[in-house]
Structure 1
Amino acid sequence: MGNGLWKDVWLLTKRSIVTTLRSPFSFIPNLLISMFFLVVYDSGLSGIAELPAFEGANYLAFILPVSVVSAAIGGAGGAGQGIVKDIENGFFSRLLLTPASRLSIVLGPIIAGMTQLFVQTLLIISIGFVMGLKVETGFFGVLVVLLLAIGWGLAFAGYSAGVALRTKNAQAAQAGTLIFFPLIFLSTTFVPYELIEASWLKVAATINPTTYIFESMRTVLIEGWIFWDIAQGFIAIGIVCFITITFAAVSAKKAVSRG
């Protein structure tokens, strides 16, 4: 049973990856936009780092998580789009007639999205190093950033897949994913929490899980191994993953029951 599940997951993940590679324009724009954010924000806002609240931190290291998280959101959204395409072209219905595990039908596109995200994050970090990025915690700090990006992407992929299975419509699924982009800007996107002046924005940043992803990444990039600051990001990811993956699983069950 277990071996059959993982075999099904592998085959469907491989198919999703091959499908993505055949349509490079489905992921290249998102990657270019994330890199654009990194270059423009660092060039135009780096002077903010001279403020006392930054304590001499490199603004490139401060802004890099914004580019990584935006790539995670855009890249993981491909999981939902892949499911919608399979529904619209009839492949999803044919899959339901095979012995393939129902769980693998959902996990395949999600894992493919995570693989795409892993490559995108590596490219963004590489561009960062070309621009002069220095990581306080070295190689293992880069691994932590990758894990945080993949974890956050997994949370978003679950939501994206759930919306796709609920709506079975490409436009509706794409519109549903827009909810995550405001989370980037209702956070400590450009300045530390201490420099946010609007009280409502401070409240939004406090309850926003993206804030804790940013802070965890910035801790390993700028400050070092501060356990609790890093752990908060993984805790936030765990909570959101539980919610979104459960949403995807329930949506998949209903989609299968409807045939």
Structure 2
Amino acid sequence: MKLLRDIWLVFARQMALLLRNPVWVIVGIMQPLYFLFLFGPLLRGALRMGTAEESYRFFVPGLLIQLAMFGSMFVGFALVAELRQGVIERMRVTPVSRLALLLGRCGRDIVMLLFQSLVIVLLAMPLGLKVKPGDLLLALGLLALIGLLMSSFSYALALILRSEDALAPLLNTVSMPILLLSGILLPMTLAPGWLRTVSDFIPFKWASDAARALFAGNPGDPTVWKGLLFVGVPAVLCVVWASRKFAKSVR
């Protein structure tokens, strides 16, 4: 019970800070909207898909995976600022759980991610997207797992590097191959065999396949549980890693 209370306290504080300055919610959603309205119409002709519904069933799930990955990957910059301001240092004198310091922040990031994802889905519906509520709910659960994975990963790196100058180039170096190998914008079936083999080691490739199966109305497709598994296991490992870094930083 104490852990849940501590998580709620940290989450409530982080949400209050976010609502005081919601500009990051708007900024974070702008790039996916550019892709939706400016790149999405090109995809139907490029992939020779028959209908707009078929095109957006392929494109929107990948767009949501991209938002989950990159919207959560850079949250560590805020933690570096808190380290510099002494916020984390002041946590030493509080009895709050060190795990709660991580999960409360991750909870804020996941709520923001799910809100942005719902906005994108609603805006895509007039363009031809159709998805069942149950399938959408499961897809949002998958996005929440990705948000947990990437935000805890980012916080752990921030606690290790403690510098935006070191964190920025590292994340940018990691993000580009992930984007290209996840099949987010174009299907990996178009890639040569060796590139498809490499992409099989990227969890987000499986997440993209799972999200597309859900938006196509196939929740029983094997790619769905594979996507949940291949994202869920790294998410748990990153939470354990990041919580240990918080414990070492605040003790």
Shared topology, TM-score over 0.5? yes
Structure 2 counterpart of 1:114, one-letter code: I
What is the distance in 2 between the residues matched to 1:256 and 1:181? 32
What is the distance in 2 between the residues matched to 1:226 and 1:180? 30
Within the candidate set 21, 37, 40, 2:38 is matched to 40
1:96-107 to structure 2, matched below 5 A, reads 96-107=92-103
The equivalent residue for 2:166 is: 172
Structure 1 counterpart of 2:43, one-letter code: L
Report if the CA contact (8 A) 1:17-1:112 is conserved.
Answer: yes
Q: Which has the higher mean CA deviation after the structures are superposed, 74-83 or 88-97?
A: 74-83
1:180-201 C-alpha deviation (Å, 9 max, x unpaired): 34312213233433322x3332
Structure 1 pair 82–6 and aligned structure 2 pair: CA distance change class (3 A): farther
* Secondary structure at the counterpart of residue 128 of structure 2: coil
The equivalent residue for 1:224 is: 218
Report if the CA contact (8 A) 1:187-1:204 is conserved.
Answer: no
Listed as ranges, the gaps of 5+ residues in structure 1 are: none
Structure 2 counterpart of 1:82, one-letter code: A
Shift in Å, 1:50: 2.4
The equivalent residue for 1:76 is: 72
1:140-179 to structure 2, matched below 5 A, reads 140-178=134-172, 179=174
Within the candidate set 194, 198, 210, 1:200 is matched to 194
What is the distance in 1 between the residues matched to 2:6 and 2:55? 44
Shift in Å, 1:152: 0.8
1:156-192 C-alpha deviation (Å, 9 max, x unpaired): 0110110111122234334443323431221323343
Identity across the alignment (%): 24
Q: Which has the higher mean CA deviation after the structures are superposed, 21-30 or 95-104?
A: 21-30
Shift in Å, 1:212: 0.6
The equivalent residue for 1:18 is: 16
Structure of higher RCO (CA pairs closer than 8 Å, 6+ residues apart): 2
1:117 aligns with 2:119: no
1:95 aligns with 2:57: no
Shift in Å, 1:24: 2.5
What is the distance in 2 between the residues matched to 1:56 and 1:75? 27
TM-score (norm 1): 0.87
Aligned length: 250
Listed as ranges, the gaps of 5+ residues in structure 2 are: none
Q: Which has the higher mean CA deviation after the structures are superposed, 41-50 or 90-99?
A: 41-50
Structure 1 pair 41–204 and aligned structure 2 pair: CA distance change class (3 A): farther
Structure 2 counterpart of 1:173, one-letter code: L
Report if the CA contact (8 A) 1:78-1:113 is conserved.
Answer: no
Structure 1 counterpart of 2:188, one-letter code: Y
Report if the CA contact (8 A) 2:7-2:104 is conserved.
Answer: yes
1:116-137 C-alpha deviation (Å, 9 max, x unpaired): 11111111111111222012xx
What is the distance in 2 between the residues matched to 1:85 and 1:108? 17
RMSD: 2.2
Structure 2 counterpart of 1:115, one-letter code: V
What is the distance in 2 between the residues matched to 1:107 and 1:83? 13
